[in-house]
Amino acid sequence: MAIHIKTAEELQRMRVAGRLAGEVLDFIAAHVKPGISTGELDRLCHEYMVDAQGTIPAPLNYAPPGYKPFPKSICTSVNHQVCHGIPGERVLKTGDIVNIDITVIKDGYHGDSSRMFYAGEPSIQARRLCEVTFECMWIGVKAVKPGGHLGDIGEAIQRHAEANGYSVVREFCGHGIGRRFHEEPQVLHYGRAGTGVRLEPGMIFTVEPMVNAGRAAIRELADGWTIVTKDHSLSAQWEHTVAVTESGYEVLTVSAGARPEPGTRAASPDLAGAVHPA
């Protein structure tokens, strides 16, 4: 499948969808605390998306080839769960870390973002993993520029993760996004600079590294969706949706409560997207 280059009108629609995805994460942040179930987090997010935003939760009943329909509106991946955790009866305990992955559909376009949250005070080791993974995401984002290559993103992420003693999950990757939830290209979070697809203005894709405290090996649970680390080590993930611009990149999933990129003091509360020259 060819990579779809977005028009200026499509980019604007993607800005709206991206901001709305970020705003769901802003909303749910105050509810992530010990004692709440992942199912309750899903209920709260679903109601906010449908009733407050007028968006459609893309994961609900999403069924790519070979998968049964995903039964919930968000993904909640706790501790050693890598991705695609199904919300349910699990109650968060003090020290848990959880990735909440949000994808909304607004006027036919998808916005996709995820963040790590702490239930109470995490361990030093868990906090460090989450921090380094956040850095990995931004290092990958900053490698985006017209004329560059997808391999530039993967190598930058892999180098930073491994330099800190962590491993990068290889079976899952970032992806193009637009009218479809998952489009070309696939955005690997490991690799070699100067290889892969050449980046062009108008490309939009996610950068969403999954970083494990232990080995990179993973396995799928019996529910057919939830992915966990084989060695039961902690895993973390952060995700932004990014557009390639004429001069660099634009982060489309920035919202008022989004954590600013490393090295900046605060996010602008009325910023719809963060535009950066190469």
Query: What CA–CA distance (Å, rounded) separates 262 from 107?
Result: 32
The answer on pLDDT for 134 being more than 70 is yes
Candidates 103, 99, 104; CA nearest to 87 is 99
Supply the pLDDT for residue 268: 35
What is the pLDDT, as a whole number, of residue 271? 28
Distance CA 195, CA 155 (A): 10
The pairing of strands 183-187 and 174-176 is antiparallel
The pLDDT, as a whole number, for residue 277 is: 46
Q: What are phi and psi of 243, to 5 degrees?
A: -110, 140
For the chain, the maximum distance between any two Cα atoms, rounded to a whole number of angstroms, is: 48
Q: What is residue 149's DSSP assignment?
A: B
pLDDT digits (tens, 9 = 90+) for 36-88: 999 999 999 999 999 999 999 999 999 999 999 999 999 999 999 999 999 99
Residues 6+ apart with CB under 8 A from 161: 132, 133, 136, 167, 168, 209, 211
Closest CA to 13 of 113, 114, 106, 112: 106
Enumerate the β-bridge partners of residue 174: 187
Find the mean pLDDT for residues 127-145.
98
Chain centroid to Cα 172, Å, comes to 12
pLDDT on residue 265: 53
- Nearest Cα neighbor of 114 from 29, 187, 185, 40 is 29
Q: What angle do CA 173, 176, 182 make, to 5 degrees?
A: 80
CATH architecture entry for 8-277: Alpha-Beta Complex (3.90)
- What pairing do the DSSP bridges indicate for beta strands 274-277 and 248-251? antiparallel
Residue 229 has pLDDT above 90, yes or no: yes
CA 200 to CA 245: how far, in whole Å? 8
> Kindly report the CA angle at 57 between 63 and 101, in degrees rounded to 5?
85
pLDDT, one tens digit per residue, over 144-184 is 999 999 999 999 999 999 999 999 999 999 999 999 999 99
Q: What percent of the chain has pLDDT over 90?
A: 93
Three-state DSSP state, 271: coil
CB atoms inside a 10 Å sphere around CB 180: 15
Asked whether the beta carbons of 68 and 96 are under 8 A apart, the reply is: no
Tens of pLDDT, residues 179-225: 999 999 999 999 999 999 999 999 999 999 999 999 999 999 999 99
